[in-house]
Chains A and B, each alone.
Chain A
Amino acid sequence: MNRIVLESPDGVPVAVPLSERVHWVGAFDPHLRTFDIILKTANGTSYNAYVVRGSEGVAVIDTVKEGFADVFFARLESVADYAEIKVIVLNHLEPDHTGALPELMRRAPGAQLYISQKAQSMLKGLLKQENLHFTPVVTGDTVSLGDRSLQFLHTPYLHWPDTQCTYLPEEAMLFSGDVFGCHFCDDRLFNDRAGDFRFSFEYYYAHIMRPFKEYVLRALELIEPLPLKLIAPTHGPILRDRPDRYIQRYRQLSSPALHSEISPQQKTLLIFYISSYGNTRRMAEAIYQGALQVDDVRVSLYDLEGGEVAPFVDLIEEADGLILGTPTINGDAVKPIWDLLSSLTVVNLKNKLGGVFGSYGWTGEGVRLVEDRLRGLKLRVPIPGLRVKLIPTDDEILECKAFGLELAQELMGLREAKMINFADLA
Chain B
Amino acid sequence: MAKATITFEDINITVTVPAGTRVIEVSEKVGSAITYGCREGDCGTCLMKITDGWNNLSEPSVLEDKILRENMAGKHNRLACQAQLLTGHISVKPA
Contacts and interface: CB of A to CB of B under 8 A. Distances in A.
Interface of A: 117-118, 120-121, 350-351, 375-376, 378-384, 410, 413, 415-422, 425-426
A418 B12 contact: yes
7 contacts: A350-B94, A375-B31, A375-B35, A378-B33, A417-B14, A422-B21, A425-B26
Interface residues of B, number: 22
A375 B35 CA distance: 7
B13 A382 contact: yes
A422 B15 contact: yes
Interface string B57-91: 00000000000001110000000000000000000
A420 B15 CA distance: 5
Contacts of A351: 10, 33, 94
A135 B15 CA distance: 45
B17 interface: yes
Interface string B27-51: 0111111010000000000000000
B70 A118 contact: yes
A415 B21 CA distance: 26
Tell me the dominant secondary structure on chain B's binding face: mixed
Contacts, number: 64
A213 B16 CA distance: 38
A416 B13 CA distance: 9
Nearest to B31: A382
Contacts of B28: 375
A419 B72 CA distance: 33
Given A380-B33, A383-B31, A419-B14, 13 more contacts: A117-B72, A375-B31, A376-B35, A384-B31, A417-B13, A419-B13, A419-B16, A420-B13, A421-B15, A422-B16, A422-B21, A425-B15, A425-B30
B16 A426 contact: no
B71 to A, nearest CB: 8
Contact of A425 (B29, B35, B94): B29
Contacts of A376: 35
A85 to B, nearest CB: 28
B11 A382 contact: yes
A419 B30 CA distance: 11
Interface string B1-24: 000000000111111111001000
Given A121-B70, A375-B35, A426-B29, A380 B15 contact: no
A380 B31 contact: yes
A302 B21 CA distance: 41
Contacts of B72: 117
A421 B16 CA distance: 5
Given A117-B72, A118-B70, A375-B35, A420 B10 contact: no
B30 to A, nearest CB: 7
Nearest to A420: B15
A187 B15 CA distance: 62
A379 B12 contact: no
> Which of B11, B26, B72 has the most chain A CB within a 10 Å cutoff?
B11
Contacts of A381: 31
Contacts of A380: 10-11, 31-33
B12 A417 contact: yes
Given A376-B35, A378-B35, A380-B33, A418 B13 contact: yes
Q: What 10 A-B pairs are tightest by C-beta distance, nearest first?
A: A380-B33, A382-B31, A382-B11, A422-B17, A425-B29, A381-B31, A378-B35, A420-B15, A418-B13, A417-B12
A425 B17 CA distance: 10
B79 to A, nearest CB: 15
Nearest to B6: A422
A153 to B, nearest CB: 16
Given A376-B35, A422-B21, A382 B16 contact: no
Contact of B32 (A382, A413, A417, A425): A382
A410 B8 CA distance: 13
A182 to B, nearest CB: 29
A309 to B, nearest CB: 23
Contacts of A410: 11
B29 A418 contact: no
Contacts of A415: 12
A421 B6 CA distance: 10
A413 B11 CA distance: 8
A413 B10 CA distance: 9
> Which of B12, B14, B72 has the most chain A CB within a 10 Å cutoff?
B12
B86 to A, nearest CB: 14
Contacts of B14: 417-420
B11 to A, nearest CB: 4
Contacts of B12: 413, 415-418
B25 to A, nearest CB: 8
